[in-house]
Structure 1
Amino acid sequence: MTLVRGRISLVVLLAFAAVACQTQDKGPQPAYVSSSPYGAPAKLASQTRERGYFIEFRSRYALSYGHTYVIFGRTNKAGAVVQREVAGLAPATVDPTPYVVGHFVPVPAETGASDGDLEEEYRSASWRVMLTEAEYKKVVAFIRELKTKSRFWHATFYNCNAFVAEIARSMGYKTPGIWLRPQQFITKLREMNAG
């Protein structure tokens, strides 16, 4: 009986992974900017807002089904980024083997920037939330703590979407399921919270 349950569980896990891979990304989505009190539903705002701090939920194209991550930092009065840091979850190597293995068992992960995260031509969707200094400090403290405890990547149980979803939930936002493609995940995250 246990062997049968194990096989059924494996089939279900593979089905989730396969479904996530079957959809296709759209062209790059517009960059959205929101501003709202911390934990409240986000309202669309202009980038010129003088709060000066931001977090941007992002997805980018990749050879696989893409990648989800956050960029956070400061902007100037014109809305241009003057200081930024990246946090995301991915297998801790450029070798594709752990990425493939990570669809079956957890593999070691890294939580910083990966190749293509800061290149605008690879951005597939984004949602920037402008923050006050106090809100920013709270979010950054959560991200730093999350980075220290996120040591493994698994395509089904704890992937880049799950990592970003934890950050969004810490801010009081609703999050979509983690089995969406990254572009769909970021678009749905924005739609659920900013309309």
Structure 2
Amino acid sequence: MTLVNSRLLLVALVALPATACQTKDLPPQPNFVSSADGGAAPQKKDERYFIEFRSRYALSYGHTYAVFGRLDRAGRMIDPQVAGLHPASNSAVPYVLGHVVPVPAETGWSDGDLEEPYRSASWQIILTRAEYDKVVAYIRKLQASSHVWQATVLNCNGFVADIAHSMGYKTPAIQLRPQQFITELREMNT
């Protein structure tokens, strides 16, 4: 009986990412900006902080991550930082293996994260300095404790969902494609 249950679990773990791969990404979705409290965060123009939940296109089904930092007077990012969970390799082998078993992971920037043509969806939230400090502290704690990636249960969507949940936001299922995940995250909370 245990052997049958183990096989069913393996089939389910392989099937989940395969079903997610069957949908197609939409054209890039426009940028959306809101404040953490749902209104306009009153701040001095030179002391604006943000977190932006993003998805980007990739050779596979994409990637979900967070960009955070300060904004200048014109609303442009100043030295943005990136946090996202992905296999710790440029090789495709850990990525493929990670659809079956957990593989070593990194939690920072990955190629294409800040390149505008690859962005598929985003939701930027303007934060006060206190809100920003709290979010960054949580991100650093999450980065320190996230050492493996697995496509169905320890993926980039789950990493971003943990950050959003720590901020009090509702989060969609982590098995969605990245663009769909970010779009639903934004729609559930705005």
TM-score by length of 1: 0.93
Q: Aligned equivalents of 1:113 and 1:49: distance in 2? A: 29
Number of the residue aligned with 1:54? 50
1:111 to 98, 107, 110: 107
Match of residue 158 from structure 1 = 154
Gaps of 5+ in 1: none
Distance in 2, Cα, partners of 1:104 & 1:82: 39
Q: Measure, in 2, the Cα distance between the counterparts of 1:12 and 1:62.
A: 24
Structure 2 residue corresponding to 1:127, chosen from 123, 128, 148: 123
Identity %: 64
2:60 and 2:96 mapped to 1: Cα distance? 10
Farther-moved stretch of structure 1 (157-166 vs 75-84): 75-84
Report the Cα distance in structure 2 between the residues aligned to 1:83 and 1:98, rounded to whole angstroms.
30
2:91 to 92, 95, 108: 95
Deviates more, 1:10-19 or 1:122-131: 10-19
Q: How many residues align?
A: 188
Distance in 1 (alpha carbons) for counterparts of 2:61 and 2:25: 8
Three-state SS of the structure 1 residue aligned to 2:122 is strand
Alpha-carbon deviation of 1:49?
7.8
What RMSD, in angstroms, separates the aligned Cα atoms of the two structures? 1.5
Q: Which runs of 5+ in 2 are unaligned?
A: none
In 2, Cα distance between the equivalents of 1:86 and 1:20?
A: 25
Residue matched to 2:59: 63
Q: Partner letter of residue 6 of structure 1?
A: S
* 1:167 matched residue in structure 2: 163
Q: Is the 8 A contact 1:49 1:79 kept in 2?
A: no
Q: Detail structure 1 runs of 4+ shifted over 6 Å in the superposition.
A: none
Q: CA deviation at 1:147?
A: 0.2
**Paired residue type of 1:150:** S
Q: Letter of the aligned partner of 2:9 in structure 1?
A: S
How far the C-alpha of 1:77 sits from its partner, in A, is 2.1
Higher deviation after alignment, 55-64 or 14-23: 14-23
- 1:21-71 deviations in Å (ceiling 9; x for gaps): 11000010000000132xxxx35x69x984500000000000000000000
